[in-house]
Amino acid sequence: MFEETISHPCEEIKVSFGYQCNRELSDSCDIPNGGGGGGGGKLRRTSSSFSCLSGAALSANATLANTNMCHGFIGAEILPNLDSPKSFRRIPSSPTLSKLDQLSSSLHSYPSCPSTPSDLTECDSYLITSMSAPSRSEGFLNAVEVEVAGGAAGEDRVQAVCSEENGWLFCGIYDGFNGRDAADYLAGTFYDTIGLNLNILGSELKLDSVEVSECLDHMENSADKNFSLTHIVLDSLRRALCQAENDFLHMVEQEMEDRPDLVSIGSCVLIVLLHGKNLYTLNLGDSRAVLATYDDGNGKVTNNLRAVQLTESHTLDNEIERTRLLIEHPDDPETIVSGKVKGKLKVTRAFGVGYLKKKKLNDALIGILRVRNLLSPPYVSNEPYLSVQRISYSDNFVIVGSDGLFDFFSNEEAVELVDSYMEENPSGDPSKFLLEKLVERAANSAGFSAEELLSIPAGYRRNYHDDVTVIVIILGQHKRTTKASTCL
């Protein structure tokens, strides 16, 4: 784990998390001590295609504290203190996906977290154990040696889970809006739900964890296979998202009499799963994954680094999304009002936000919060954009970020900043550097110094920049120096 002192005296961007592996150490690598479930020592590499992970987060929103997020470590927290309270009342799963519900009952059997401060330690310990020590049963995401990190920045939630043993890396950014319950729910459950769905489809096709590891690099080219592994993974991600939303909205229906605000709370979703040479992405909303590659787009390696967006932007600024929404609601002239979906939301696809999906949930609201003339819901889709990218030697790194980053930087600018920084600072932290540059740009736009901007409390600072969460995954043989690979 590496840290560096930044130029701005603000604790909020002084902490990051990192996973480092020196590819020059043959096929073994150092794992930080004190991780969520990994422990120290060296593990044999399998088919992993990444050599380093760094991340940082900056809060701008101040929101009501209402739910819990599971919390672990890779090297250190993303933020020094997790600001969510330690309470999350789990309820029985929704009845809509019967087969998945039967198999996922264990996901909803955690003990209810107590709300009194004196009981928090035991509850936190249980949640951390459940996240960081997966079972040893066969399955795609199951592993004995696992490192987990989680953190919060305003309404953003982020997690990273790594198994060097099985050669996979999972990163999730959940950018909440109108509150953080949906983002907290995803951070606390979605990784397990994805693992469950991967295991279900894998077992249906008689693929256990060993076969998955062995077949990953070959299965796509096997003509005698009815299903390719990439399709298995992508379909599992889609199913998992559907399951998670059904469960969340079912919970909202149970709670909305006491908390009607839940019906308006939602989250953008961005998942990156790297296994072997395959980089899978799932997104809803406007968070992005951007690949930096020397491939010219025709399979030829050039000297120019190119930015390739691996996700889609689901906003009304995207003409394709705007057109789709209007086509789906031909009899509603107020589908788009003042540049927002039903005058409420700029994103066209999101997790949660039930009042734009179900009339029953909209009816729970009163006054100006309620959507008038909800003629043909749902107006916000939960159908994700899915992609898979085959990682090659010409691919350098991936920037994974919430929309707060791309409010200030284009894909090309972000890639150029990370590339130039790593050239000059091979042992530095590119994620923190991106946040430093973002603060400088936001401050310049507002006519402040960076120090003045960072002195503005969260909540008020939302007028100048959004919550920002950034992960930089350095791929393949693009290794860091030996110094950068030294863990505390």
The closest of 80, 77, 74, 104 to 92, measured between CA atoms, is 104
* pLDDT value at residue 228: 78
What is the band of 320 on the pLDDT scale with cuts at 50, 70, 90? Answer: very high
- pLDDT tens sequence across 125-162: 222 233 333 333 456 787 777 777 777 788 998 888 88
Phi, psi of 186 (to 5 degrees): -65, -45
Q: Is the pLDDT of residue 227 over 90?
A: no
Query: H-helix or E-strand containing 57?
Result: strand 50-58
d(CA 230, CA 368): 45
Buried b / exposed e over 189-204, threshold 16 CB at 10 Å, is bbbbbbbbbbbbbbee
The contacts found for 433-436 with CB under 8 angstroms, 24 or more apart, are 434/56, 434/399, 434/401, 434/405, 434/409, 434/470, 434/472, 435/13, 435/56, 435/57, 435/58, 435/468, 435/470, 436/6, 436/7, 436/8, 436/13
Coil vs helix vs strand at 397: strand
C-alpha distance from residue 303 to each of 121, 296, 425, 426, 474 (Å)? 53, 9, 20, 19, 18
> Which amino acid makes up residue 278?
N
- pLDDT tens sequence across 21-34: 433 333 333 333 22
d(CA 438, CA 298): 33
Q: Is the pLDDT of residue 398 over 60?
A: yes
* pLDDT value at residue 367: 86
- pLDDT tens sequence across 165-201: 777 899 999 999 998 889 989 988 899 899 888 887 7
Q: Is the pLDDT of residue 361 over 80?
A: yes
Question: What are the structure tokens assigned to 137, written together?
Answer: 């049963």
| Residue of higher predicted confidence among 76 and 113 | 76
Structural domains of the chain, with CATH: 11-314+384-485 (3.60.40.10), 320-348+350-369 (no CATH)
What is the band of 96 on the pLDDT scale with cuts at 50, 70, 90? Answer: very low
156-163/168-177 β-pairing:
antiparallel
Tell me what the mean pLDDT of segment 33-37 comes to.
27
C-alpha distance from residue 309 to each of 176, 283, 287, 290 (Å)? 22, 12, 11, 4
Question: What are the structure tokens assigned to 342, written together?
Answer: 């039903």
* Percent of the chain scoring above 70 in pLDDT: 67
What is the band of 306 on the pLDDT scale with cuts at 50, 70, 90? Answer: very high
- pLDDT tens sequence across 290-304: 999 999 988 889 899
What is the band of 103 on the pLDDT scale with cuts at 50, 70, 90? Answer: very low
Q: Is the pLDDT of residue 272 over 80?
A: yes
What is the overall mean pLDDT for the chain? 74
* pLDDT value at residue 63: 58
